[in-house]
Amino acid sequence: MRWILIAWLLAFVLSRSALADPVAPETIRDARSDCVVETSGGEYPRYVVKKLGKVIFAPRSDGITKVLFSPSAEYLAFFGSEIDWVDVGDKGFAVVVMRCPTGELRGFAKGFPGAEAGWVDDMTIKFHDNATEKDIVVKIVPDGQFSFRLVEILLRDD
């Protein structure tokens, strides 16, 4: 009888953990930035960027794999996946960069970023494209006083 009770309790505990949310909600912040990123948690979390408590960007994509502040915390980078790119309006991008002080968004539509995607320096992002197995480097280029654009830097195949 005792083994039956233990087996029943074990089955109950395992079934509860299988139904539990795989990823807890998270808040991503940097003390030097007014931008705060909140996630919904779950297997495919949703992301919302707030500035001083107001939502300034809420992509519908559920394929975002990570969000990282640049080293200076001026920019945020959102990385898509093979499941879904990051949406800005009705367009999808592999990488979306937000300039926190202005809320301005720019997207880069090439590749499927791997898990090691990240910032090289304050103006450069690098990721391994899972589709082509090549590294892609994207540079933030100032375009006027408050604007910027994203430009791919071509790497040589050595």
Sign of CA dihedral 31, 33, 38, 43: negative
Residues 28-66 pLDDT 10s: 999 999 999 999 988 888 999 999 999 999 998 888 888
Q: What is the DSSP string of 13-24?
A: HHHHHHHS-SS-
pLDDT at 17 over 50: no
Mean pLDDT, to the nearest integer, of 135-143?
Answer: 89
Q: Is beta strand 95-99 parallel, antiparallel or unpaired with respect to 75-79?
A: antiparallel
- d(C-alpha 80, C-alpha 95), whole Å: 6
Q: Enter the tokens of residue 108.
A: 């880069």
How far is residue 112's CA from residue 94's CA, in Å, rounded to a whole number?
Answer: 6
Distance CA 155, CA 138 (A): 11
Q: Please indicate whether residue 88 or residue 69 has the higher confidence score (pLDDT).
A: 69
pLDDT computed for residue 61 by the predictor? 85
Laid out side by side, the sheet with 148-153 consists of 118-121, 124-129, 134-142, 148-153
pLDDT at 131: 83
- pTM over the 0.85 mark: no
